[in-house]
Structure 1
Amino acid sequence: MKNLTFALLISLIIQGCAPQRNLVYFSNLPNSTNEKIQRAPELKIQKNDQLSVTLTSLNTDYNVLFASANANNSNTPVNGKAGFKVNNAGNIALPMVGEIKVEGLSLEEAQALIIQALKRQIKDPYVDLQLVNFKVTVIGEVNHPASLNVPGEQINLLEALGMAGDMTVFGKRENVLVIREEDGVRNMTRLNLNDKNVYDSPYFNLKQNDIVYVEPDKAKEKQVNPNQNLMPIISTLVSAAAVILTVVLR
């Protein structure tokens, strides 16, 4: 009987020593801190981006022409806004000026380039340029996985997770995968959201078309696979039977 009690005690100790999940974001952050904020990278225009180009000038006919072309060039308005699509050559085709190369430029650089082209035909044109299809995709162990339209020009990882309903308790906060494609190259990195140093990663501030994947932990895998749920029970029963058999034989 003493052997059986000892075996059960050892079993409880082993279960108590099982690794515990850290569900706290930035758990190594001190109670008070003063750190320099990392600036979000400047947005660069990419192929397949959708740009809203609004012209304001003294010539109302030109203004209407731009507004009409802006609407007609977009089959899928985003957030109620239409726009000119950046083609595979990295250009947008605008009324009166034709195709302009905008890929790789910031919005300010592209805006200045369009204004310079329009000045050849219009006096004192003003152009408002916006990216209307900035989206990121959040999948995996979050409450509301989705492709998220970003109402602005920047979003960080925490904001994207918040828009997706935050991670479930099964999401690995220490192993969040960010997938990014730039210049035809796919880059992937894993971020640890338990660590405050994640702020310093160039992947903390997301770019358009980034994909965030939250990996499930082993507890979720056991829920999905019933055979794995049975294994600990079977192992415990076998161990208990072995202990009982040893006691009886003695």
Structure 2
Amino acid sequence: MQSILKYGLSMGLFCALIIILFSSCGSRKKMVYLQNDSTQVNTLYDQYVPKIQVNDILTVVVTAADPKVTAPFNPISSIANGNMSQNTDMALRPTYTVDNDGNITLPMLGKTKVVGLTRIEAIEKIRSELEKYIKDPGVNINFNNFRVSVLGEVARPGSFVLPSERVTVLEALGMAGDLTIRGVRENVMVIREVNGQKTMNRLDLTKQSTLNSPYYYLAQNDVIYVEPNQAQINSSKLGANTNIIISISSLLITVISILTR
């Protein structure tokens, strides 16, 4: 009887040890973002401003001192009125999709090549063309489909449409609820399309040098992937058996405690 009890106790302790090993804790060094080091932070947003790409959807609005002269360039101006809410007005503003040749087709101006330009560069180009028709024209351009996706070990994975093209990887992770305790912070992947080719780039969020990375500021359609740490991978190997092992171990320990009193 004593040998059976010893065997049962050994098995219970063995199972408990296995569970502890599979759920080992991470160190502070692997968890804290942007830890102090000797890196000199010199990131300038102007170096990495997103460029307009094929299939981008742009809102283009023309303004002038006399609103009447902008009517041919703003298709919705004939139905707009002072009673419109701001949201309704934004929804009715004209949008243009960048075609496969990198052009948008604007009223009066026709095809205008904007692919490869920043938003500010596109504004200046269109404004220059409009000066043939309007004195001191104003132009406002916004991305309608500036989207990033965050996948993997984050609290709320998903795709996010952003009101501005100025967004960092940390801000995108914040919108996704931040990394879970199981996410690997030293090896976050940013998938980006450059000239029709997908590129995969790694960021170490625990180092300040990440602030100097060309992938710290995101471009439209970037995908951020956070991989699980080893403890999460190990626990997934146990799968549904984890609860069973815990229950059996607890039962064995309880029975042994009762029988050895």
| Structure-1-length-normalised TM-score | 0.74
1:119 counterpart residue number: 131
1:56 partnered with 2:52 = no
1:248 counterpart residue number: none
CA-to-aligned-CA distance 1:64-121 (integer Å, 9 cap, x gap): 3433269xxxxxx9x8565211111110110001010000011222111111211222
Equivalent in 23, 26, 49 of residue 21 of structure 1: 26
1:219 partnered with 2:226 = no
CA-to-aligned-CA distance 1:155-188 (integer Å, 9 cap, x gap): 1111110000011111111221110001111110
Shift of the 169–101 alpha-carbon distance from structure 1 to 2, 3 Å rule, reads same
1:68 counterpart residue number: 75
1:99 partnered with 2:111 = yes
| Number of equivalenced pairs | 227
- The one of the two structures with greater contact order (alpha-carbon pairs below 8 A, sep at least 6) is 2
Shift of the 19–197 alpha-carbon distance from structure 1 to 2, 3 Å rule, reads farther
Distance across 2 between alignment mates of 1:35 and 1:29: 10
Which amino acid in 1 is paired with 2:95?
G
Distance across 2 between alignment mates of 1:189 and 1:128: 33
Residues 147-166 of structure 1 correspond to what in structure 2 (within 5 A)?
A: 147-166=159-178
1:198 counterpart residue number: 210
Deviation >6 Å, runs of 4+? none
Shift of the 21–209 alpha-carbon distance from structure 1 to 2, 3 Å rule, reads same
2:54 counterpart residue number: 47
2:10 counterpart residue number: none
Q: Secondary structure at the match of 1:92?
A: strand
1:38 counterpart residue number: 43
Q: Does structure 2 retain, via aligned residues, the 8 Å contact 1:47–1:89?
A: yes
Distance across 2 between alignment mates of 1:120 and 1:27: 51
RMSD over aligned CA atoms reads: 3.8
Distance across 1 between alignment mates of 2:232 and 2:24: 15
Equivalent in 138, 141, 159 of residue 153 of structure 2: 141
CA-to-aligned-CA distance 1:189-231 (integer Å, 9 cap, x gap): 122212222222211111111100011123333444446956x
Q: Secondary structure at the match of 2:186?
A: strand
Which amino acid in 2 is paired with 1:38?
T
Residue 34 of structure 1, CA deviation: 9.0
Q: Secondary structure at the match of 1:216?
A: coil
Distance across 2 between alignment mates of 1:151 and 1:203: 19
Q: Secondary structure at the match of 2:178?
A: coil
Shift of the 195–228 alpha-carbon distance from structure 1 to 2, 3 Å rule, reads farther
1:209 partnered with 2:214 = no
Task: Indicate the structure with greater strand content.
Answer: 1
Distance across 2 between alignment mates of 1:118 and 1:83: 17
Distance across 2 between alignment mates of 1:189 and 1:56: 41
Over the matched positions of the two proteins, sequence identity in percent amounts to 39
Distance across 2 between alignment mates of 1:38 and 1:188: 20
Q: Does structure 1 retain, via aligned residues, the 8 Å contact 2:191–2:201?
A: yes
| Structure-2-length-normalised TM-score | 0.71
- Which range moves more in the overlay, 37-46 or 174-183? 37-46
Q: Does structure 2 retain, via aligned residues, the 8 Å contact 1:53–1:66?
A: no
Distance across 2 between alignment mates of 1:185 and 1:215: 22
Distance across 2 between alignment mates of 1:203 and 1:228: 38
Structure 2: segments with no counterpart, 5+ residues: 1-6, 8-12, 78-87, 250-261
Distance across 2 between alignment mates of 1:69 and 1:227: 57
Q: Does structure 2 retain, via aligned residues, the 8 Å contact 1:69–1:95?
A: no
Structure 1: segments with no counterpart, 5+ residues: 71-76, 238-250
Which amino acid in 2 is paired with 1:21?
G
